[in-house]
Structure 1
Amino acid sequence: MLAALLSALLLTAPGVHADGRAAADPEPAVTLSDKQAGKGGEITVKGGGWRPGTLLMMLICGQSTPARGVIGGTNSCANADGRAVTTDKKGAFAKKLPVAEPPVPCPCVVHVATVTGEQALADAVFVVAGHPVSPLPKQSGEGKLAVLAAPRLEGDSGILTWFGAPPSRRLVFTVGNLGSAPVKDPVFRVGSAHGVYAPQWDERQWRGTVEPGFKARIELPVELTAGAHGDYRISLKYGTKVLAEQPWGVGRPWGVTLFWILLCLVVPAAVFRIGMAVVDKVRPRPAHAGSRRGRRSAPRAGATVRLAGLRRTPAPAADPAPATGALPWFTPDSAPSEHRPSTKGHS
């Protein structure tokens, strides 16, 4: 069991002091019951601020300080006398650790690191009584980073990208320090190339330290220009060496195409209607147009009278009045008089 844990530690033990966790999360910490003890003794290691239910490995390592970490990786530690411990629900633990002499001289630390899951570590200064002490090796160069796993692009495009917003992703990869000096806050260069064109490089700094013999998971933001589409190639460079390349197929922003199609249809129609309205306003009117329109609109009196006559019920004819004038065949002297005596019957 211990051998398996040590093998896992060699594969996954981190040398990273990074800002990967949220600012509100507590930093992992380690405290010791004694700062000094001799070989064969025992100390109690306590910790807090770890993730709950995490498997940890505790080792006594030489040629190490909390500032520079474990120089040389776990090859500088007393691996056979290491102990495994699992944190409780609050991310704390307490475990006894036997004191053993590491294979290299002190200064020494008690090194606690995660075995599985997200990488995290903490070191506490410890003196192994009677063990040789020698100065730490001088740092030389900037270390040597190599990509241990193929990079990948993570993340999705939002709805705004469909309308021409800049596509963005996260370039995720794992690097290992193959040199003899730690690499602190390395500056990478991320390049994006479209088609056969040369890549355009942008600097991205990762906050953290990769100790010699350790590895770290790194995420760098990648963003293209607005409206970008087609086949792109994302390159990762550290120093003068290209570490990896990753293809990226970006879809066309069809929302922009739809917008231009609608614009080509709506704008000409609107301009045509505005132009027709202006022409109708400014064109001259004939002089007789107003009077003709007036005649057309005014009702005709005769028609109204005729219509009224048609609707009126005819009145019964009245008796003709007696004529006041004399008839032409009578004269005033020849008109009969009722007072004149008749000569008929007079003998």
Structure 2
Amino acid sequence: MTHLRTAAGGLLAALLLALLPVTADAAPTGPPTADGPRVALSRTEGGKGGEITVSGSGWKPGALLMLLVCGRAEPGRGVVGGTNSCANTDGRAATVDARGAFGAKLPVAEPPVPCPCVVHVAGVTGQQDTVDVAFTVAGHPTAPLPESAGRPRLAVLASARLEGSSGVLVWFGAPARREIVVTLGNLGQTPVKDPVFEVGTSHGVFAPQYEERQWRGTIEPGRKALVKLPVELAAGAHGDYQVSVRHGGTVLVEQPWGVGRPWGVTLFWVLLALVVPAALFRIGMAVVDRVRPPLGGRRARGRTPAHAPTPASAPVSASPSASASESTAVLPWFTPDSAPSETSPTTKGQA
């Protein structure tokens, strides 16, 4: 048993030594740098159901990485078809430590497309570097890469920008829309006709969700073109987003996009919280007023004055002319006989 362990340890060391040149030659699909990220594998071949150790150095501290086994790919050329050519369900995530290193176990899985295969390590947050290391999945079919596969021939010649503005409906939660504009040049020897780009948006620590966008036109060798691709977020999305554009598995553009909060939705709920209780209160008061009896009628039925005259004993009012004659008849100081006459002489005249 001891001899077997020693032999296994020697074999593992030999595999690691044999892997070092391969790891050094494996270049990231992004722009090469002197101190760029590096990836090493514990084995360069394995069968389905096995497990390998993936380690790396030179990565951005604190970055979140995604580890996948992908087919139809080669180091330095990217993954043809993007993550659709990878065993996504068996992928693993790893976090880079403060020294820029990481290590994680990755199960060996068969990708949905034939080999050549690679272990694809890509940054999810921050600087999204990508490194592919050749790996052989034992027993998995192989097929030559398509003739169009290879290093991307399109390069970014000017910084990208987002064009467009948000309408009033976005303030109420409608999807925000923009166009990402970038100037691309054809560095290859053949024209690029109607290229298909992948446009994705990411928020926080989540990986970009890519969608295909085809640009209509032809970029001749040595020529450049202004490419505009539509970008759309989900309804109600707000916060800091990042728009990514890639072609042939290589990320060409990363542009930040700050989306304001849809305050119209908040205002709507505030008004709803005020209007609905007020309306219910008014409806309730109207129902109460209609159901309860009148207050004056209840008092009239409950209290009847005892001294109120009955209709039979009530005095009958006289007419104004009759009242006036009765008042004149009862005056004691004035009678028809005592009234002065024009024909009767006065006492002074008689004297």
Which TM bucket (shorter chain)? 0.3 to 0.5
Q: Which has the higher contact order (CA 8 A, sep 6+)?
A: 1
